[in-house]
Structure formats: structure tokens, C-alpha cells
Structure 1
């Protein structure tokens, strides 16, 4: 039941992110937060997928479906780890080197429109740092300049692909997980569940 609920939580986040991004990308902080949430949610999927692999024996199509996009999901996790979940000092230093404009815009940090640009440049730096030992980018075929429309569209296409493929995977995963549990109806409510709820004590949830 826990995995069923968790899968649906991740799925519902992605469905809402997809809905909002489908209305058009606005170059502002609210949309940048959607991008960050998308990267975070895909990372939650990557971590969660490890715990449901026993299902692949009965549902091998799920494994194949995930593998098709695994590299793209791993890229999303990389961006989350460097740019969203943790803002790595090394990333900021590289962004300042890559985009000297940042140094000359420090007096504008109270301007949300300018902070969207700061975020865009730091995201761009994180994207460009995802390289193999030979310096070649692991996902895109060239360096990314998010101010250059074709490169920006390429990144949006990447986002759309990972979000929608993840939703499709989670649709099937939720169905498979639902087969493993008994889902009670409202007519089957049991008093002991509410009695147990009244006896609940909360403890700090460790990492």
C-alpha cells in the first residue's frame, strides 16, 4: 500500500507540472520553480524505482519502459543534485566564469525578473557540466545556450519527454501495484482502524 500511495503522489505531481507547462513557458520565476519541481519529482521517481523492481518479474514491460528513458532520468537527477536540492558552490563558481554577466548584475538581485536570468544561467551551467571524461556531453550533442532559442527548445523538449514518459510509466506501475493490495471500499470501513489512529504517537523520522 505504501508503494501504491507513493507512486500516485509522484505521478500526480508530474501530471500537474505537465498541465502547467503545457500552457506555455513563461520566462519568470514561477515557471522556473516548475522546472525545479520537475527535476525534483523525476529524481523521486529514480530513487523510488529501485524499490519496485521485484514487480518486473511479473511485468517485464515496466522494466523495458523505464530503461528507455533511464539515461534522461539520471540527467534530471544530476541537475536536481547540483542545482535544486543542493546548490553546489562549484556550480556557482563555474556559472560566474561561464556567464560574466552575473558579476555585473549583482545590484539587481532584488529584481525577480533578473533572478530568473540568474537561475537560467546557473541551470545552463549545470546542463553543460554533465559531460563524460572526454568532455562530450552525455545527453545533448553540443553545449547549451539557453538564451539561444533552438537550444532552449531542445531543453524544453527534453523536459516534456521525461515528464510524459514518467507519467506513462507510473500509470502502468500504479496499475501493477494496485493488483498487489486490497483496496477497501467506504462500505468496508473498520472501527479498529480509527481506534488505532487515535492511539498514534509521532516520532522524528530519521534520514
Structure 2
């Protein structure tokens, strides 16, 4: 048996896009929520950093997975690939890992984190630290002339026009990615053959051969004879453990190999 028979790669790609879509839809709900106090604001800042990690994973999928679609879908793919370069910058400095230089610039940018009056206010410090990292990631995405590539100016999320512009942009990017993922999952699902009930024994055998050593191959060869042997051994073990005859008979009738 080959990987193509079981469509392992196609199904893996489908799960990849399905989970990315689910993550983005969750983050979109959080980011769209009304801010009614410090906890809501902190939740939005956390979601902002986290959504960029997911968006970067979308970028990886867009770059790696080849999908055949209509011209409009191809155009969306090209635009999204370009737009998500910003997500890659953000992920590499402010969420996938915290870049040391960026951390120092965030401290320089946000002295209020260390005000005497707030030294015992942990919630305030966390909020301001989250904001400082986000703003530093945004403001360090610059061209050769030092101009911010997306907004053309430095962003301060405490300045309402800046906050509105950034979160509107982020919402548009998230929803563009969700739209692409919706089409992508549909394209992949159309190419996947659903399993029939008659295939359950073969698929169960293949599932049992899953190798979770990710540095080695996983066995996708199916043998009826090997399956019969394993079933016979299993029935013998059940008999030795004192399984009731009617249960053994039920299994023999149910699992006909």
C-alpha cells in the first residue's frame, strides 16, 4: 500500500488548514470584543501577539501547500503571501521567541512599566509589557529608510487613531486569511475520498501501525494475513483471560477477516 492510497499527505494538509482556520476564528472573536476594563484589554493584547503566530503558520501553509483553484483564488494566494511577511517579522521577534534587541527597545520605548507608583501593580506591568512588545514589533517593521512599511509611521496603541488603524488592519488580515483557508479546506476536502464502512478493518490496522518517531517512516503496508494473525493472537489472549464465550463469538461475527 502507498501513501497515495490513504491520501495521508492531502488529509494532513486539510487538518492543517482546518485548525488554522479555527484558531483564527477564535482570535477574531477575542479581538472584536468590547474592552470594558483592564482584563479585557490584556486579553486583547495577548490575542494580538498570539494571532501573529497563527498568521505566520498560515504563511508557511500558503508557501508550502500547492492548491489548484480559480484565478481569483490564485490572486488571493499571491496577495496573502505578500501581506503575511509582516506576520513573519512579528513572529520572529515578538512571539515565536522574544528577540533580545527588541526587548531592550521595548523597555526604552515604554518607561512607564517601571514607574515608582506602579512597581507593585503586576497587572499594569503585564499590560504595558504586552503593549510595548506589540508596538515594538510593529514599529521595527521598517524599510531601508527607516519608515514603517505598513502604516508609514510609528504606532502607539494608546493613541486612539493609531489603535483604530492597527486593529482594523489586523482584522482585515485575519479575515482575509480565514477566507483563504475556507476556500483551501474546501478544495482539499473535495479531493479526499471518504472512508466506507467496509474499509474500517484495513484502516484500523494501518492506524495500529502508526510510528510516532517523527524521524522515521511510518508503516502504511496492509497485509490481510498479518491482520488475521494479530486477530487470532488477540482472541487467544481474551480466552486465556476468561472472556465470556458470547463476547468472543460476537467479535468473531463482527470482525470477519
- TM-score tier, shorter chain, comes to 0.7 to 0.9
- Structure 1 position 188, deviation (Å): 5.0
Q: Distance in 2 between matches of 1:182 and 1:4?
A: 13
Q: Distance in 2 between matches of 1:109 and 1:204?
A: 46
- Asked if residue 21 in structure 1 is aligned to residue 31 in structure 2, the reply is yes
Q: In the alignment, is the contact (CA less than 8 A) between 1:146 and 1:152 conserved in 2?
A: yes
| Structure 1: gaps spanning 5 or more residues | none
The residue aligned with 1:12 is: 22
Instruction: Give the structure-2-normalised TM-score.
Output: 0.71
CA distance 1:109–1:203, shift in 2 (3 Å): farther
1:27 counterpart SS class: helix
Equivalences for residues 1-207 of structure 1 within 5 A: 1-25=11-35, 26-28=40-42, 30-53=43-66, 55-56=67-68, 58-104=69-115, 108=119, 111-184=122-195, 187=197, 189-204=199-214
For the aligned residue pairs, the C-alpha RMSD in angstroms reads: 2.3
**Corresponding pairs, count:** 202
Q: In the alignment, is the contact (CA less than 8 A) between 1:72 and 1:139 conserved in 2?
A: no
1:101 counterpart SS class: helix
Q: In the alignment, is the contact (CA less than 8 A) between 2:80 and 2:176 conserved in 1?
A: yes
Instruction: Give the structure-1-normalised TM-score.
Output: 0.87
Q: Distance in 1 between matches of 2:107 and 2:30?
A: 31
Larger of the two Rg values belongs to structure: 2
Q: Distance in 2 between matches of 1:91 and 1:81?
A: 11
Q: Distance in 1 between matches of 2:123 and 2:113?
A: 14
170-179 vs 40-49, which moves further: 170-179
- Structure 1 position 190, deviation (Å): 1.5
- Structure 1 position 43, deviation (Å): 0.4
CA distance 1:160–1:196, shift in 2 (3 Å): same
Q: Distance in 1 between matches of 2:108 and 2:117?
A: 14
- Structure 1 position 17, deviation (Å): 1.4
Q: Distance in 1 between matches of 2:140 and 2:80?
A: 20
Structure with bigger RCO (C-alpha 8 Å, 6+ apart): 1
